[in-house]
Structure 1
């Protein structure tokens, strides 16, 4: 397998007000409403940050998977989407590891497989192959025009067994884990001890942390040690 990128992260929230707050604090452009997520009992907004994406999903029914996720532990990090240049190999690898693929799609411009969170731990992991690689259907047709400057640099995942889960995610992605960390071509995943198994932090690089802090204050949020909590996730800001 070639490079593996962290291309998109997802917060499950109770309302799209979380999307509005996220966009306001990070200075994001117009969000894309993807009608396709209705298949999963969701409405959403997807925002482009550079050529990566922040998504907020809201369940339209408590019986939807995201609704059950929120009922178990509140709003929070729900999904991480990784880009590969060889999804066929990733699918073979998942099957060999007995990791269930709960959703698969093959379109002319993108293919994707969602891995069962019970088999990898903490969140839904999606592995996607975009064609061409610089494209991204899930961001909508105008994402490049609406992209804000910045990038995703990583995530922090809590689990009772950091080394084991880091290894499991790394095996699924076809990369290596070292000391509870998974290094990707453009991001780092850190697995840390925690009682609630889920993604707890997203690391985000923005042009001006001070300006983001001011925008957070206008929303009634505190930025402490460059962290602001939105939708049950700590957004860690760096320049």
Structure 2
């Protein structure tokens, strides 16, 4: 079974307008998609394209949502979900259940299947496995990003999602747990490749998805834009939607 590919990271904000405006300004682009199906869960969202990977921000529109409870538990710190596409989400779900991690949600829409695992059992962030029919190639269909994502605007200057950083008081243990759930090899330095995006597990006071690493042709320009939007900028990165965005040249 092929290695799952990290395609999307989902972040949560109390309201959508401010982080959407700030991220659009920093990236120099516009959102590529909004999912109308999320209204049934009391949520709204926006998705930005970074090449063939995606950043999603969701916000609750009513009380009692899972995303709202996440905000309350986390104090607004940490990413909500790491989303991987794969050949067989149901097989991945069965393997996860054998490891003691139950499924909490299945979503079937047209040629798409998404399977979400229990966030507390995943640790650090919820994991979703999904598959879009015909989406084996990275430039093929990917339902969460909309029917025409390939034609959607990209960041300007171009940038890509290079790594996702996960914190834990016991990073080696968390890395082994995610390695088992994803069926991937974790190196001795607690790093793993998830289909072209690195997973980095590092020491931290609590378990969370703490940071995203982006490579840009002009990181200084993106940092200047972040400062102009009033975001907290320091040491080559900025804070937005509960996580640190670290910008690297490349």
Report the equivalent of 1:170: 179
Paired residues, number: 239
Q: CA deviation at 1:11?
A: 0.9
Q: Deviations over 1:83-132 (max 9, x none)?
A: 11232321221121121111113344222110111111011100112222
Q: Given the alignment, which residue of 99, 103, 106 partners 2:105?
A: 103
Are 2:67 and 1:66 aligned?
A: yes
Q: CA deviation at 1:214?
A: 2.0
Counterparts of 1:81 and 1:196, CA distance in 2 = 21
Q: Structure 2: state its 5+ residue gaps.
A: none
Q: CA deviation at 1:143?
A: 1.9
Q: CA deviation at 1:142?
A: 3.1
Report the equivalent of 2:30: 29
Q: Which deviates the most, 25-34 or 118-127?
A: 25-34
Report the equivalent of 1:237: 247
Does the 8 Å contact 2:93/2:117 carry over to 1? no
Q: Given the alignment, which residue of 68, 77, 80 partners 2:82?
A: 80
Q: Deviations over 1:185-212 (max 9, x none)?
A: 2011112222232111011122321221
Does the 8 Å contact 2:212/2:245 carry over to 1? yes
What is the TM-score when the length of structure 2 is the normalising length?
Answer: 0.89
Report the equivalent of 1:11: 11
Counterparts of 2:62 and 2:206, CA distance in 1 = 23
Does the 8 Å contact 1:152/1:202 carry over to 2? yes
What is the TM-score when the length of structure 1 is the normalising length?
Answer: 0.93
Q: CA deviation at 1:30?
A: 2.9
Does the 8 Å contact 1:48/1:144 carry over to 2? no
Report the equivalent of 1:42: 43
Report the equivalent of 1:131: 133
Are 2:226 and 1:224 aligned?
A: no
Q: CA deviation at 1:50?
A: 0.7
> In angstroms, what is the RMSD of aligned CA positions?
1.7
Q: CA deviation at 1:64?
A: 0.9
Q: CA deviation at 1:25?
A: 0.6
Are 2:216 and 1:197 aligned?
A: no
